[in-house]
Amino acid sequence: MSFAHDKISPMTNNDSKLADFIQALPKAEIHIHLEGAIEPETVLELATRHNMLERLPARDAAGLREWFVFRDFPHFVDIYLTISEMLRTPDDFELIAYRLGADMAAQNILYREATFTPHTHVDFQDKGLSIEDILSGLEAGRQKAKRDFGVEIRWVFDIVRNFSFEDNAERTFKPRPSEATLEYALAGMDRGVVGFGLGGFEVGCPPEPFEEYFAEAKKHGLLSVPHAGETEGPASVRGSVYELQADRIGHGVRAVEDESLLRELIERQIPLEVNPTSNIRLHVFEDFASHPFRRLDEAGAFVTVNSDDPPLFNTTLIQEYQTLVDHFGYDRAGITRIARRAFEAAGLEEDIKQSLLAKFDQEARQLGE
């Protein structure tokens, strides 16, 4: 199975005014991974800072972008963990949070809810980091980005689901990653953590064993935002909705395979955090012609559009909106409607949400005049 980027046809829409509209439209993004949003230039900067250049297959950004062209899923994991290894001090976390905000300003993204995996840095990789080191760095970067760019950033701390199962025939469940992630998420609620997630490799790692941790997170006011329905089918989505009481579903696109489940998602208007390019890169769907984004939207599902791991998938949020035009036939009205939904589904404080929605509505009207 090839993961090469040439599986996706180039953009063909030549309406420069529509491209300008997408750029100028205020945007929110609720599904992006912080570690997966680190650009090659920053990877090189971190590797140089920590004398780790030998860990990289290239010494320039162009070479690293070539490395990002996946051979298979294990290659994707190798890239992800190598990048994570470069994050070794509070200053490193401040840097990547701040760069996330700078990218938001460049794309006119007013709000981002970035998923972050603290267990990898505190427990899985031996770097001598505490959760306080990480939280202090993230908070410094988040506040600096708000000051310099006027953007709002919040965090979702997620469990790596496959770290919670023994690699044996019984697939014995290990609670420690879940317990630790819950502890870290609760510790960060006063510093921007608004959601509790479930990421990692779905196959063989169902959501049901994580029920008690999500119940506790919700009891403390965190959103339940598990990944489901990406590399596994409707059963993963159903378990996330019923057992994890999901407020949103990361991906969720394979719910289209089960009419009764899709009908329930529509009735309950549970937002789906859809990542079209990611789905193609990872062969959830082979091409945009088979991707169900438009079908889900027309059926009445609450769909949003997101970029997931943008440099790893050679995309941006702006490109994802352009994809709606080029491959799904959306016009300005459709783009505006989808863009507004990301603000509606956001997990930030209600007064800030309403302020951002008012700003969005005003600027969208002005752009449409």
Q: Which residues are catalytic?
A: 230
Taking the C-alpha atoms of residue 51 and residue 37, their distance in angstroms, rounded to an integer, is 22
Taking the C-alpha atoms of residue 156 and residue 284, their distance in angstroms, rounded to an integer, is 23
CB-based contacts of 299: which residues, under 8 Å, 6+ apart? 262, 266
How far is the CA of 197 from the CAs of 102, 204, 334, in angstroms? 25, 17, 29
Taking the C-alpha atoms of residue 254 and residue 234, their distance in angstroms, rounded to an integer, is 6
Residue of 101, 78, 94 lying closest to 3 (CA atoms): 78
3-class SS of residue 222 = coil
Taking the C-alpha atoms of residue 309 and residue 292, their distance in angstroms, rounded to an integer, is 20
Give the tokens for residue 20. 């300008």
Say how many C-beta atoms besides its own lie within 10 A of residue 41's C-beta: 13
192, 139 in Cβ contact below 8 A? yes
Q: What is the DSSP letter of 297?
A: H
Taking the C-alpha atoms of residue 335 and residue 327, their distance in angstroms, rounded to an integer, is 13
